[in-house]
Amino acid sequence: MAPRVVVIGSGPAGVRAAQALVEAGLRPTVIDEGRRDGGQIYRRQPEGFSRSYDTLYGTEAERAASLHASFDALKSMIDYLPETLVWNISPNAVHLVSGTRYRTLAFDSLIVCSGATDRLMPVKGWHQAGAYSLGGAQVALKSQGCAIGSRIVMMGSGPLLYLVAAQYVKAGAQVAAVLDTSTLMQRVAALPRLLAIPAALKKGIALTRVLTQARVPVHRGVQPVEIKGSPHDGVSGVEVALPGGERIEIACDAVALGYHLRPETQLADLAGCRFLFDADTQQWLPQIDDDGRGSVKGVYLAGDGARVRGADAAERSGRLAALAVLHDHGMHVEGMERLRRELARFTRFAAGLRAAFPWPAKFAASLPDETIVCRCEAITAGELRRVVRATGAQEANRAKAFSRVGMGRCQGRYCGHAGAEIIAAAASVPLASVGRLRGQAPVKPLPVALTEASIEAASTEASAEISE
Ligand SMILES: Cc1cc2nc3c(=O)[nH]c(=O)nc-3n(C[C@H](O)[C@H](O)[C@H](O)COP(=O)(O)OP(=O)(O)OC[C@H]3O[C@@H](n4cnc5c(N)ncnc54)[C@H](O)[C@@H]3O)c2cc1C
């Protein structure tokens, strides 16, 4: 009997994984919580919008068109479940919700291609209306064709900082400044690794040219001080310290923040995969082999959800994980070695990006006590430090239980990394020993209208299917 393969995500990794499975004669199920396929980078605009591929995707227009065409061609050969959230995973079954409908689906192999989200470091005032993540600012532009404000500051570090700033400039928005916490020297030192993918490096340089031509002020090596504003009017400006210590304030009505990306790993966690501390990126990542096999038999991880290496690498790792599935089911496959070799170049390039735009771990220790760390639960850095000192909680989940940092609707996606840095600094322990927030189901909020009866009915159906 053909193996039942489920692919989570219809971004570059998920689409290429599904394509390889279909080529081998399988009919996979592809699940995505989004309304349309394409994932983050090749996010499709809503039906009824008619911007051209060039307008929407710029230099990536051809790649976007190719991915979309591939997925359109696959649709009759897969079971595609859009607008469907995978909210939990149990052994050999995924738990889904679509609208108010609950469903459980059994699988023999699961390929998780869940992508990444912004990696965020809090700054005083970032909870005010008008403060977005860089990814959020880009989604507003790509999906809805609107800007987050009329005078915008982009702050943080990483390729997305320059990409989103350039996209806003090209769309006609006023970018008041780009405030980068990394330095030019860090970028120069990373050059040998960045040269692993010369075309990507060239694209990065072109982005800075867009900003220069538009005369957008770019300050490097800054330390964020405060996002100014008021509860009534929202964001009114951003204050940073320049490398020499001088402080400047830039007036704006919106700010977009971010420090590169972090993989979405909750589903891997719920699937029971083992995690290891990655000293290079200073975070816990699911353990995978070169082909994307997780530590749990039958669970494979691909794309940015496993390792942040960009969209081209995601396409390759998605295909490679699918080939690994086929190989593990005893089918003949070709091309794995070539994909592994190509991915090694992207891994080197990604390491270069991390060195060029480092995660500013040290900022966490110096955050003023009144800075909100957990925006969902409105918990400050001072409260988290107090909890660590008063209770001796030096482990992330224990500190969460006492402080509620990471207990809100984002489940620690946006505050977890900074929270761990604050705990480590307050307890004077290494970051690795703080551990990581355990993934909890549901990974995202479920509709209240989901009735107990529908859950029970679906569970019975699923148990019958699994025992078959
Ligand atoms: C906000 C944002 C913007 C980005 N913009 C760019 C850009 O402009 N240019 C660029 O080069 N790179 C960009 N990147 C990086 C780029 O998105 C990735 O390199 C690439 O998209 C990775 O492909 P992927 O298939 O691994 O993940 P993604 O493209 O992120 O696709 C993951 C898919 O999984 C789905 N998913 C996740 N969790 C669940 C769940 N629980 N249930 C159901 N479905 C789920 C998501 O809806 C999504 O469609 C961006 C990243 C982010 C986070």
**Residue 142 maps to which CATH number?**
3.50.50.60
Cα of 11 from ligand 1 centre, angstroms: 6
181, 360 Cβ separation under 8 angstroms: yes
Q: Which atom of ligand 1 is nearest to the CA of 444?
A: 41
Cα of 35 from ligand 1 centre, angstroms: 14
Q: Which atom of ligand 1 is nearest to the CA of 87?
A: 41
Q: Cβ of 141: how many Cβ atoms within 10 Å?
A: 18
Cα of 167 from ligand 1 centre, angstroms: 17
Cα of 245 from ligand 1 centre, angstroms: 37
Q: Which atom of ligand 1 is nearest to the CA of 267?
A: 41
Give the residue ranges of DSSP H helices in 380-446. 381-391, 396-403, 416-427, 431-434
Domain contains 447: no
Cα of 114 from ligand 1 centre, angstroms: 7
Strand pairing report for 299-301 and 93-98: unpaired
111, 288 Cβ separation under 8 angstroms: no
pLDDT means per 10 residues, the chain with 468 residues, are 95 98 98 94 86 89 96 98 97 93 94 97 97 96 92 97 96 97 95 94 93 97 97 96 96 97 97 96 96 98 97 98 98 97 97 95 94 96 97 96 93 94 96 95 86 61 52
Number of H helices, E strands in the chain: 16, 22
pLDDT at residue number 468: 47
* C-alpha–C-alpha distance, residues 85 and 441, integer Å: 12
Nearest CA to ligand 1 atom 49: 39
User: Are residues 156 and 93 located together in one domain of the fold?
Assistant: no
Domain contains 441: no
Rg (CA), the chain: 22
Ligand 1 pocket, Cβ-based, cut-off 6 angstroms: 8-14, 31-34, 39-41, 85-86, 113-117, 135, 138-139, 163, 261, 264, 267, 303-305, 310-311, 314, 443
Residue 401, classified by CB atoms within 10 Å of its CB into exposed (0-12), middle (13-18) or buried (19+), is: middle
User: Are residues 217 and 135 located together in one domain of the fold?
Assistant: yes
Domain contains 444: no
70, 15 Cβ separation under 8 angstroms: yes
Q: Which atom of ligand 1 is nearest to the CA of 305?
A: 26
Candidates 255, 250, 179, 182; CA nearest to 218 is 179
Q: Kindly state the tokens that stand for 273.
A: 């995969």
User: Are residues 317 and 185 located together in one domain of the fold?
Assistant: no
Q: Cβ of 185: how many Cβ atoms within 10 Å?
A: 10
Strand pairing report for 372-374 and 379-380: antiparallel
User: Are residues 181 and 255 located together in one domain of the fold?
Assistant: yes
Domain contains 203: yes
The Cα-based distances of 411 to 132, 416, 417, 443 in angstroms read 18, 8, 12, 7
Q: Which residues pair with residue 31 across a beta bridge?
A: 8, 81
User: Are residues 426 and 381 located together in one domain of the fold?
Assistant: yes
Domain contains 45: yes
134, 156 Cβ separation under 8 angstroms: yes
Cα of 264 from ligand 1 centre, angstroms: 9
* C-alpha–C-alpha distance, residues 109 and 88, integer Å: 16
Candidates 147, 146, 152; CA nearest to 227 is 152
Nearest CA to ligand 1 atom 3: 135
Number of folded domains that form the chain: 3
* C-alpha–C-alpha distance, residues 273 and 288, integer Å: 9
Q: Kindly state the tokens that stand for 139.
A: 């989604």
Angle, helix 311-328 to helix 12-23, in steps of 10 degrees: 30
Q: Kindly state the tokens that stand for 377.
A: 């639960």
Task: Provide the residue count of the chain.
Answer: 468
Domain contains 459: no
Domain contains 429: yes
Nearest CA to ligand 1 atom 38: 114
DSSP class of residue 322 equals: H
User: Are residues 77 and 136 located together in one domain of the fold?
Assistant: no
The Cα-based distances of 448 to 99, 112, 441, 452, 460 in angstroms read 10, 26, 15, 10, 21
Nearest CA to ligand 1 atom 30: 115
The residue to which tokens 């209770």 are assigned: 391
User: Are residues 129 and 249 located together in one domain of the fold?
Assistant: yes
User: Are residues 282 and 325 located together in one domain of the fold?
Assistant: yes
Helix (H) or strand (E) holding 339: helix 336-356
User: Are residues 229 and 270 located together in one domain of the fold?
Assistant: no
* C-alpha–C-alpha distance, residues 408 and 170, integer Å: 36
Nearest CA to ligand 1 atom 13: 41
pLDDT at residue number 56: 87
Which one of 33, 41, 202, 413 would you pick to mutate in the ligand 1 pocket, going by the greatest count of ligand atoms within 8 A of its CB?
41
pLDDT at residue number 263: 97
Cα of 345 from ligand 1 centre, angstroms: 20
* C-alpha–C-alpha distance, residues 414 and 363, integer Å: 16
pLDDT at residue number 457: 61
